[in-house]
Structure 1
Amino acid sequence: MRINLPTWLTLFRIALLPVMVAVFYLPFPGHNITAAIVFLLAAVTDWLDGYLARRMNLTSAFGAFLDPVADKLMVAVTLFLLVESHRGGWSGILMAVTAAIIVGREISVSALREWMAEIGMRATVKVAFIGKLKTVMQMVALVVLIVQHEKAAEALRLYHIGEGLLVIAGVLTIWSGLHYLRAAWPSLSADGASRNGSA
């Protein structure tokens, strides 16, 4: 199997995850800014690999499988880092609950899409605008929170902005999840005989 350029970019995005984790914790000046830059670089490769795959017709089954895995790993790992660094208090509870909602939705929608693909209805739960809006809001919130994860007093206002954006992303996460569930509900609620076309 030959690995094409978009898939190499996806693999590069996965390889950036341990780099971001290390930079997030290393105690050097500007480590938070550096971690945010690494996250942004990963986010750019997410857009770029999809663009190149469509523009240059470089799609592959392996790439189609790996791309959403890389996306979910990037978001989940970042959320775990932020939750771990904000333990205690209402702020920590809010961060943990929002992270649980986002990660739980990603797992649920992935399982839903896999099941719909098995019955030949994958197009029913294709990515919608609300899902794309959720992703943009989520990425902006995560960048802000990575930069301000130490919650320095002079930057507390920006941290609260990041918190607010993440909560909005959480609401959009629920909304988009319900959108996909509604689209798939006719297939989910049908009995086995109906799906198989038998009486």
Structure 2
Amino acid sequence: MWTFPNILSLLRAPLAFLLLIPDTGVRLCVIVLAMITDALDGYLARTLRCVSPIGTIVDPLMDRFFVLFALGIFLTEHHLTSDQILAMISRDMAICLFGLYLGVSGTWGYYRFQAIWCGKITTTLQFLVLIALTQGYPVPQYVFSGFVVLGMLALGELALIYRHTVAKRIS
């Protein structure tokens, strides 16, 4: 559990709370640090050969926590609308729908959870939007539409992985 990459992942939780400080410089540093820990944790886990089942859960969980916490702050400060937030978490809703499908179909135990490219792209874009909002830059509406498209693509990517792994096992 206490591998260096997992500690890097877990650091995103206390970093998120630093976003409560209403200072542009502090928030910018916090978001950049969160991005760095997100980039390094997986890379180091693979490089140091300490990939763990806990790490594969903690990393995306801390990503979600950090981003959702930040979105909540920007919502309460009126920098984002609830519609924009829903668009930004489209990928997460797609993953929940897919998980629901796995549960209902009884194939949860057959599915091998892994990172998806649409997820990596979405997380990167979420961090970039957080940086833009922190700096006071307006985020064009097409960016939020892009998040919805990425959510649909994530669902498609998950379906392809399912087809190549689970469907072959149970047929």
Greater relative contact order (Cα < 8 A, sep 6+): 2
Q: Which has more radius of gyration?
A: 1
Decide whether the 8 Å contact of 1:6 with 1:63 is kept in 2.
yes
Who is 2:15 aligned against?
Answer: 16
Mapping of residues 117-196 of structure 1, within 5 Å: 118-122=108-112, 126-128=115-117, 130-148=118-136, 159-160=137-138, 162-164=139-141, 166-180=143-157, 182-183=159-160
Note the C-alpha offset of 1:82: 1.1
Note the C-alpha offset of 1:180: 3.5
Note the C-alpha offset of 1:19: 1.6
Percent identity between the two aligned chains: 24
Decide whether the 8 Å contact of 2:89 with 2:147 is kept in 1.
no
2:87 is aligned with 1:59? no
Q: Counterparts of 1:86 and 1:165 in 2: how far apart (Å)?
A: 19
Q: Counterparts of 2:70 and 2:155 in 1: how far apart (Å)?
A: 24
Of residues 35-44 and 105-114 in structure 1, the stretch that sits farther from structure 2 once superposed is 105-114
Aligned residues: 165
Who is 2:87 aligned against?
Answer: 101
Give RMSD over aligned pairs.
3.1
Q: Counterparts of 1:182 and 1:37 in 2: how far apart (Å)?
A: 37
Note the C-alpha offset of 1:68: 0.8
Unaligned runs of 5+ residues in structure 2 are none
Write out per-residue CA displacement over residues 49-76 of structure 1, whole angstroms, 9 at most, x where no aligned residue. 1110010101112211111100011111
Who is 2:61 aligned against?
Answer: 69
Q: Counterparts of 1:50 and 1:110 in 2: how far apart (Å)?
A: 22
